[in-house]
Amino acid sequence: MGIGTMVGIAGMLVAMVLYSMGVWGAFRAKQMRKNDVLFLIGGVLFDIIGTGGMWYAAGGKFLSDAHTLVALVAFFLMLLSAILGLWAVGWGKEKLSATLSRWMLAPWALWAIVFVWGFLQNGMKRG
């Protein structure tokens, strides 16, 4: 296993943990809190690191397969969640904070599906 693949896998695993902590923490609290936003921002950063590792492992090119396209959509939805969460918490937007705490489950679910899909897809190539 190459360094790009290892960095990619590690980055995605950390991103999944951070995204999950941010989304489920906000969902359970029924509002976005500062820590939830920090977890989401951390998830975005590790998602970028993981994607960079996968890009490197793929020979420096982005693939145009269904997995890559759905993964990019999921990433941008999580990025949007982090930005909106930062805005809601930073400017005291209580209603947005409450709505976002429920709405974020959809992008997280899509991201989780792509996360599992990638591991299954790559595991089948090696197995």
**pLDDT at site 125:** 61
* 59/66 Cα distance (integer angstroms): 18
* 107/92 Cα distance (integer angstroms): 23
Closest of 127, 124, 111, 118 to residue 5, by C-alpha: 118
Rg value, the chain, Cα: 15
Amino acid at 124: M
pTM: 0.91
Structural domain boundaries enclosing 111? 3-126
pLDDT in 10s for each residue of the chain, 127 residues: 889 889 999 999 999 999 999 999 999 999 999 999 999 999 999 999 999 998 898 887 777 788 889 999 999 999 999 999 999 999 999 999 999 999 999 999 999 999 999 888 766 565 4
Number of domains in the chain: 1
Angle 41-1-124 from CA coordinates, rounded to 5° = 85
Tokens 């997280």 belong to residue: 108
**pLDDT at site 127:** 47
**Which segments of the chain are extended strands (E)?**
none
CATH of the domain at 119: 1.20.120.1770
